[in-house]
Amino acid sequence: MDIKAQLLQLKEEIKREVQDIFDEKVLNEIKVKYLGKKGLITSVLKSLGSLSPEERKEVGQLANSIKDFLEETLKAKQEEIEKKKLEEILRKERLDISLPAEWFEPSASHPVLTTLKEITEIFKSMGFTVESGPEVEYEDYNFTMLNIPEHHPARDMQDTFYTSNGMLLRTHTSPVQIRSMLKKKPPIAIVAPGRVYRKDMDPTHSPMFHQIEGLMVDKNVSFKDLKGILKIFLENIFGKDIPIRFRPSYFPFTEPSAEVDVGCTVCKGKGCRVCKNTGWLEILGCGMVDPNVFKAVGIDPEDYTGFAFGLGIERIAMLRYQITDIRLLFTNDLRFNLQFRGIE
Would residue 174 count as lying in a domain? yes
Specify the higher pLDDT residue, 158 or 95. Answer: 95
Q: What is the pLDDT averaged over residues 240-266?
A: 92
3-state class percentages of the chain: helix first, strand second, coil last, to nearest 5 = 45, 20, 35
Q: What is the pTM of this model?
A: 0.66
Distance CA 230, CA 102 (A): 47
pLDDT digits (tens, 9 = 90+) for 277-289: 898 989 999 999 9
Nearest to 190 by CA among 239, 135, 128: 128
144 and 117, same domain (yes or no): yes
CB 180 within 8 A of CB 190: yes
Identify whether residues 76 and 215 lie together within a single domain.
no
Residues 68 and 194 in one domain: no
Same domain (yes/no): 196, 326: yes
Same domain membership, residue 72 and residue 163: no
Confidence of residue 38 (pLDDT cuts 50, 70, 90): confident
Q: What angle do CA 54, 59, 62 make, to 5 degrees?
A: 135
The number of domains in the chain is 2
Based on the fold, state whether residues 73 and 134 are members of the same structural domain. no
Domain that holds residue 51: 3-92
pLDDT tier for residue 323 given thresholds of 50, 70 and 90: confident
For residues 72 and 196, state if they share a domain. Answer: no
- The pLDDT score that the predictor gives to residue 101 is 74
Query: What would the mean pLDDT of 238-256 be, rounded to a whole number?
Result: 93
223-227, 238-242, 332-336: range with lowest mean pLDDT: 332-336
Q: Residues 147, 295: one domain?
A: yes
Mean pLDDT, residues 8-12: 76
pLDDT given for residue 87 in this prediction? 85
Taking the C-alpha atoms of residue 124 and residue 34, their distance in angstroms, rounded to an integer, is 79
| Confidence class for position 49, pLDDT limits 50, 70, 90 | low
